[in-house]
Copies of this chain bind each other. A is one copy, B any other.
Amino acid sequence: MKNVELKMSVKSRELPLSLNNTGDPEIASARPWAWEKKVAKSVLSMMKNPPIAIELWDGSRIQSCGQQPEVTLKVKNRSALSGILRNPDYKLGDAYSTGAIDIDGDLVKLAEIGSTYRPDILDDRRFLGKVINFLGRRARPNTLSGSRHHIHHHYDLSNDFYQLWLDRNYMQYTCAYYENLDYSIEQAQIAKLHHVCRKLRLQPGDEVIEFGCGWGGLGLFMAKEYGAKVKAYNISAEQIKYARDKAAREGLQDRLEYIEDDYRNAAGTCDVFVSVGMLEHVGKENYKTLGSVIDRCLRDTGRGLIHSIGRNKPKPMNRWIEKRIFPGAYPPTLGETMNIFEPYSLSVLDVENLRLHYAKTLEQWLARYESNVDKVLQMFDEKFVRAWRLYLSGSIAAFRTGELQLFQVVFQRPLDNDLPWTRRYLYPSARQV
C-alpha cells in the first residue's frame, strides 16, 4: 500500500486506491452501499458528532445527530470515501487536491473541526494512531543529502510563486508578529524582524551567523536596520540566488554573505546566532548536532535565538503535509528542543509562544494567495492550487486549535552576566513600522 502511494505522481488526477482495488470508474461511481453509509455515520459518532455533513456521490447525506452542519464534505466517489474513512489525516489531503472531495463551506472551519473533534482512536498513543504514524514514517532522513532533497522539494518551487503571497519587503515565509492587530502582513513581518533583533540585542558591527536564511530577508534587515554583518546558510539554491541578487541591488553585499551549504558545515564564530524557521526541517535526531555547531560558533558573550513551529506533545507532522508539502518536517516540543541546548554550555533565557500570530499570518497569506490564484494556476495546475489552499487552511486551523505552536527561544552562555534584568526593552512605548 505504501509503495503504491509513493509512486503516485503529482500530476495524477485519481487516488491510487479504491475499495475493491479495480480502479474501474463505473464501480467507483456506483450507488453507495448501505454499509458504507453506516461506517461513515459511525465515524461521525466516534468523533462525537462534529458539525459536518457528508454528501455522497449519489446526493445522499450523512450527518451528526442533533448537530446543524457548518460544513459539507462532498465525496465524489467510493475510493475517496474509503480513503478518508480509513486514514483521514492523509487521504483527505489527496482527495481534496484531486477534486475527489469538495467542500461546501469554509475549508479552515472544516480543518478546525477535524482537529477539535479528532476521534480518540487516532491518538498517537493508541494502536491505530501508532500504525498510521508507522506507515507515515519518513522515507528519507535529514542527512546532508536528504535535507538537500527535502528543502529543494519545497523552497525551490519557484521564487515567483512565493512572491505572489508573501510580504513584499522581506519575503518572510515564517510567523509574523502582530503587536498591533491592524497590521498588514508587511508591517507584521517588519515587527517580527524587529522583535527578533531586539531579543538578540543586536548592535552595529555584530557578527551574525544565520542558519536557514530563506530568501535572505532577516539578514538583509539586520544589515540595513541594525548595521550587523551576517553570514547566512541555506541549502536552497533558488533562495540563495535571490538573496544574493537582492543584497547586491541594495548595495549591502559587503555585509551579507549568503552561503549555499548545510548548517553542519558552518565555520567561524559569531556574536549572534539566529535561526528562524529552520528547526522544523532539522529532524529531532539531529538536535544534538545542531547544538554542537551552535556551541562551536557562539562566542562567550554571544546571544542566540531559535524560532520554530512546535508542539505541546511529541507527534509527527501531519502525514499529508509531510509527504506532499514539507518532506522531512517535524515540529518539536519544547522538551525536545532542549536537546539542542542541554548537552552544551547554553542557557535558555526566554521562551515565547506566538501560536495565534501564526494563525493570523497564515490568514493574510491565504487571502493574498486566493487573490492571486489565477497566476498560481498558470504556473502549476488545479491540483497544486487546491493542495496549497488546503495546506494554508489546515495550518490556520492547526495554530488556532493548539495542534501547532510557535516558539521563540532566546539563549546565551551560562557564565555571561550581561543580561537584561527585565524584558521591558522588548516593548518600547511607541514604535513606527
Bound complex: CA of A355 vs CA of B341, how far in Å? 17
Known contacts A351-B350, A356-B421, A402-B414; is-contact A338 B341 (Cβ 8 Å): no
Closest to A195 in B: B422
Q: Is A36 an interface residue (CB 8 A)?
A: no
Bound complex: CA of A405 vs CA of B423, how far in Å? 17
Min Cβ gap A196→B in Å is 14
Min Cβ gap A339→B in Å is 7
Q: Which of A47-106 contact B (CB under 8 A)?
A: none
Bound complex: CA of A115 vs CA of B421, how far in Å? 23
Known contacts A422-B179, A429-B429; is-contact A342 B335 (Cβ 8 Å): yes
Contact across chains for A352 and B402 when beta carbons are under 8 A apart: no
Q: Which of A267-308 contact B (CB under 8 A)?
A: none
Contact across chains for B423 and A401 when beta carbons are under 8 A apart: no
Instruction: Give the interface size class of chain A.
Output: 35 or more
Residues of B with C-beta under 8 A to A423: 352, 423, 426-427
Candidates B181, B335, B405; contact of A338 at CB < 8 Å: B335
Q: Which of A132-178 contact B (CB under 8 A)?
A: 178
Residues of B with C-beta under 8 A to A348: 312, 334, 351, 353, 405
Contact across chains for A347 and B402 when beta carbons are under 8 A apart: yes
Q: Which of A399-433 contact B (CB under 8 A)?
A: 400-403, 405, 413-417, 419, 421-424, 426-427, 429
Q: Is A230 an interface residue (CB 8 A)?
A: no
Residues of B with C-beta under 8 A to A424: 179, 427
Bound complex: CA of A422 vs CA of B339, how far in Å? 27
Known contacts A333-B342, A427-B427; is-contact A356 B417 (Cβ 8 Å): yes
Contact across chains for A116 and B415 when beta carbons are under 8 A apart: yes
Residues of B with C-beta under 8 A to A339: 335
Contact across chains for A178 and B402 when beta carbons are under 8 A apart: no
Q: Is A31 an interface residue (CB 8 A)?
A: no
Closest to A348 in B: B334
Q: Is A255 an interface residue (CB 8 A)?
A: no
Q: Is A357 an interface residue (CB 8 A)?
A: yes
Q: Is A122 an interface residue (CB 8 A)?
A: no
Bound complex: CA of A282 vs CA of B429, how far in Å? 40
Contact across chains for A353 and B342 when beta carbons are under 8 A apart: no
Contact across chains for B347 and A350 when beta carbons are under 8 A apart: no
Bound complex: CA of A37 vs CA of B423, how far in Å? 50
Contact across chains for A312 and B335 when beta carbons are under 8 A apart: no
Bound complex: CA of A333 vs CA of B337, how far in Å? 12
Residues of B with C-beta under 8 A to A350: 351-353
Min Cβ gap A390→B in Å is 22
Min Cβ gap A123→B in Å is 12
Q: Is A204 an interface residue (CB 8 A)?
A: no
Q: Which of A160-217 contact B (CB under 8 A)?
A: 178-179, 181
Min Cβ gap A354→B in Å is 9
Min Cβ gap A341→B in Å is 7
Q: List 4 other contacts, CB 8 Å, given A179-B421, A334-B338, A338-B338.
A: A179-B422, A348-B405, A422-B427, A423-B426
Closest 8 pairs (CB-CB, A-B): A402-B414, A335-B338, A351-B351, A424-B427, A349-B353, A312-B347, A335-B335, A427-B427
* A–B Cβ pairs within 8 angstroms, 13 of them: A179-B424, A312-B341, A312-B342, A312-B345, A312-B346, A312-B348, A314-B342, A334-B351, A347-B402, A349-B353, A350-B352, A402-B415, A422-B427
